[in-house]
Amino acid sequence: MESKRQQKFAGVIQEELAQIFRKEGSAYLPNTLVTITRVRVSPDLAIAKVYLSFLNSPNTSLAVNTVNAHAGEIRYKLGARIRHQVRVIPELSFFVDDTNEYVERMDQLFDKIAKERKDQED
């Protein structure tokens, strides 16, 4: 379970990264909208796992690899924004947030189960 400190720090990182991607995201991924869905921070605040969702991206794994390739540059820009608020700028690791795909898959399974029950009742 994350502490209040971790949650607050994760919120700051999420807001600042969202602004970075909104203003400069087209340099990394042209014609792609990047959304930061969640940030998880280690207890020592040195590592941040950033979960991203992509819109208009045909290949999400390629998109996240591209963002990870620019992680140092993004970290530098993040540091310039939050340097007066924190002691350590965390190492950033980017991951694909597949929550929406999971929800869709579960909905399909529930629909299939409901249909099978209905067919059995008839």
pLDDT per residue over 20-73, tens digit each?
999 988 888 888 889 999 999 999 999 999 999 888 888 888 999 999 999 999
Q: What per-residue confidence (pLDDT) applies to 42?
A: 95
Backbone angles phi, psi at 54, to 5 degrees: -115, 140
More confident residue, 93 or 108: 93
Max Cα–Cα distance, the chain, nearest Å = 67
pLDDT band per the 50, 70, 90 thresholds, residue 76: very high
Quote the CA–CA distance of 93 and 72 in Å, as a whole number. 10
Q: CA nearest 97: which of 62, 64, 72?
A: 64
CATH code, domain carrying 22: 3.30.300.20
User: How many independent structural domains does the chain possess?
Assistant: 1
Work out the pLDDT band at 119, boundaries 50, 70, 90. confident
Mapped onto helix, strand or coil, the DSSP state of residue 47 is strand
Domain that holds residue 36: 4-121
